[in-house]
Amino acid sequence: MSEREFDYVIVGAGSAGCVLANRLSEDGKSTVLVLEYGGSDRSVLIQMPSALSIPMNMKKYNWGYTSEPEPYLGGRRMNLPRGKVLGGSSSINGMVYVRGAPQDFDRWEREGAAGWSYADVLPYFKKAENRATGGDDYRGHEGALHTSYGTMQNPLYQAFVDAAKEAGYPENPDYNGATQEGFGRMDMTVHRGRRWSTANAYLKPAMDRPNLEVATQAFVERVVFEGRRAVGVAYRHGGQEVIVKARREVILSAGSINTPKLLKLSGIGPAGELASHGIEIVADRPGVGENLQDHLEFYFQAACKEPITLFSAQSLVQKGRIGAQWLLMKSGLGATNHFESCGFIKSRPDVEHADIQYHFLPLAVTYDGKSLASEHGFQAHVGPMRSKSRGHVRLASPDPAEAPTVRFNYMSHEDDWREMRACVRLTREIFAQPSFQRWRGREIAPGEGVQSDEEIDAFVREHAESAYHPSCTAKMGAEDDPMSVVDAKARVFGVEGLRVVDSSIMPSITTGNLNAPTIMLAEKAADIIRGRPALRADLSGQKRARQLEVAAI
């Protein structure tokens, strides 16, 4: 097959890659090729929000990674779903829209990501968003990414918020606005009853452009170099190797697991690891694949004394009715991710900003759907947001077809245990409030017998699960930091013509779900790549308004 050339070759049609595909091709001149190993996202199972746990567990749409045995979690191998479909993980995730705390991005800048403070990123969050209830100083209303709120029809959603207020926490009308801390409605990337992935938001509207091409079932094996310059990509399609050239740049948007794998297979990474696999070293960057971070959580569950939970919707007859209503009208229980209320609190008073997140669900079940509900119940997904544990992604072999080895080292820092214990005790306090009195039955999990530090630790060791937010494995930072992989313009150190734009370049994990900040990263990176002036918010006037709003809640 003859070699073809494009201005830009993007690897991965996920949360970042779809944004880049749209933005880099919107001038009508630059030619762009997107390579995606997965295929179409047209399945009802993907587009129907309430079906989210099904594609997450299908080999067709999920890379199916698992971690190595986690030494601090009793040797358990943790499930690590990653999207393998147009839209990437935004096509199989929980559709929760959380930007992160403003302090997260100011921290990024302190960590070496110059130009990525909150004032620098807020305009790109706004640029991306089209909020159903309208924009304001913090929220966008003209972007491609639609966000909306659930109907909150189930009374348990409001009971959770009211119970938190009774426990002394503020109600927050918009955790993506002036401040994150507090309890209230949860944003979701659902539009007119459909999952609003980046494939729907960004890629599909651009696919008719003659200068954009999207190739599916394309398994990328390595970046092609001439000397130290990236000039193309080698991938397999239909059993054949194909080389495609990039006149300007190759951009890796393969995610926090596959991006470091591809960098290493291409000769960029820790010299010792590459040499052990017989890979020729192009750039010795010891940080590639290191600094892996994630959010760990557990499900605090209580039985419900009245039959008002989603357990009533679990029969085949009810599922059929829900499915029919969604297919015909894109409404009803099929049109929500069911995470309609939430909260952000501090694990202790001296924490700078909220470091515990809640997702509330009026059903007692596992997030991935593998453990079905057996009775009426409700739960809060709860976990610390800024773990000090660090893991890694490493090559299992030089064979591109072999999955990398992933170890998170969850709970390897003592502070993580202290924060998890706080999660149990603070959540138990919220669930004990009067607003839940009418519905609250026995505590299903952790269970009333789990009280001491040792008992809580044992519960966490056995039951904690990933929130599926792997990140930071090719972090952005200063060139003199040996663990940094890309500079503040997302350019890979030590080579030319190669950038990384996805959640792997986050210097540190943000407070909340990662789809929203990953989309923001891509919006900002697109302006950088195109040489456009950077947007920056003037927060001088907003700062006072923000102080007043914080005081009000």
Domains of the chain: 1-147+189-293+390-402+469-553 (3.50.50.60), 151-185+296-384+412-463 (3.30.410.40)
pLDDT band at 550 (very low <50, low <70, confident <90, very high): very low
DSSP 74-106: TTBPPEE--B-BTTGGGGTS--B-----HHHHH
Q: Is the model's pLDDT at 61 over the cut of 90?
A: yes
Q: Is the model's pLDDT at 213 over the cut of 80?
A: yes
Tokens found for residue 489 = 């313009």
Pairing of strands 498-500, 240-252: parallel
As a whole number, the mean pLDDT across the chain is: 95
- Of these residues, 146, 191, 338, 469, which one is catalytic? 469
Write out pLDDT tens, residues 425-458.
Answer: 999 999 999 999 999 999 999 999 999 999 999 9
Q: Which of 2-6, 52-56, 115-119, 461-465 has the lowest mean pLDDT?
A: 2-6
Tokens found for residue 48 = 């129907």
Q: What pLDDT is stored for residue 66 in this prediction?
A: 97
Q: Is the model's pLDDT at 192 over the cut of 70?
A: yes
What percentage of the chain carries pLDDT values higher than 90? Answer: 94
How would you class 318 by CB atoms within 10 Å of its CB: exposed for 0-12, middle for 13-18, buried for 19 or more?
middle
Write out pLDDT tens, residues 341-365.
Answer: 999 999 999 999 999 999 999 999 8
Cis peptide before 210 (omega within 30 of 0): no
What percentage of the chain carries pLDDT values higher than 70? Answer: 96
Q: What is the mean pLDDT of residues 318-335?
A: 96
| Predicted model pTM | 0.96
Cα gap 135→137, rounded to integer Å: 7
Q: What pLDDT is stored for residue 2 in this prediction?
A: 52
Q: How many helices (H) and strands (E) does the chain have?
A: 14, 25
Q: What pLDDT is stored for residue 374 in this prediction?
A: 83
Q: Is the model's pLDDT at 549 over the cut of 90?
A: no
Contact between 96 and 359 (Cβ < 8 Å): yes
Active site residue 295: no
Contact between 525 and 20 (Cβ < 8 Å): yes
What's the longest Cα–Cα distance across the chain?
A: 71
Write out pLDDT tens, residues 94-132.
Answer: 999 999 999 999 999 999 999 999 999 999 999 999 999
Residue with the larger pLDDT of the pair 98 and 543: 98
Q: What is the mean pLDDT of residues 269-276?
A: 98
Q: Is the model's pLDDT at 544 over the cut of 80?
A: no
Write out pLDDT tens, residues 463-499.
Answer: 999 999 999 999 999 999 999 999 999 999 999 999 9
Write out pLDDT tens, residues 374-401.
Answer: 899 999 999 999 999 999 999 999 999 9
Q: Report the Cα–Cα distance between both ends of the chain, in Å, rounded.
A: 63
Q: Is the model's pLDDT at 373 over the cut of 80?
A: no
pLDDT band at 367 (very low <50, low <70, confident <90, very high): low
Q: What is the mean pLDDT of residues 187-203?
A: 98
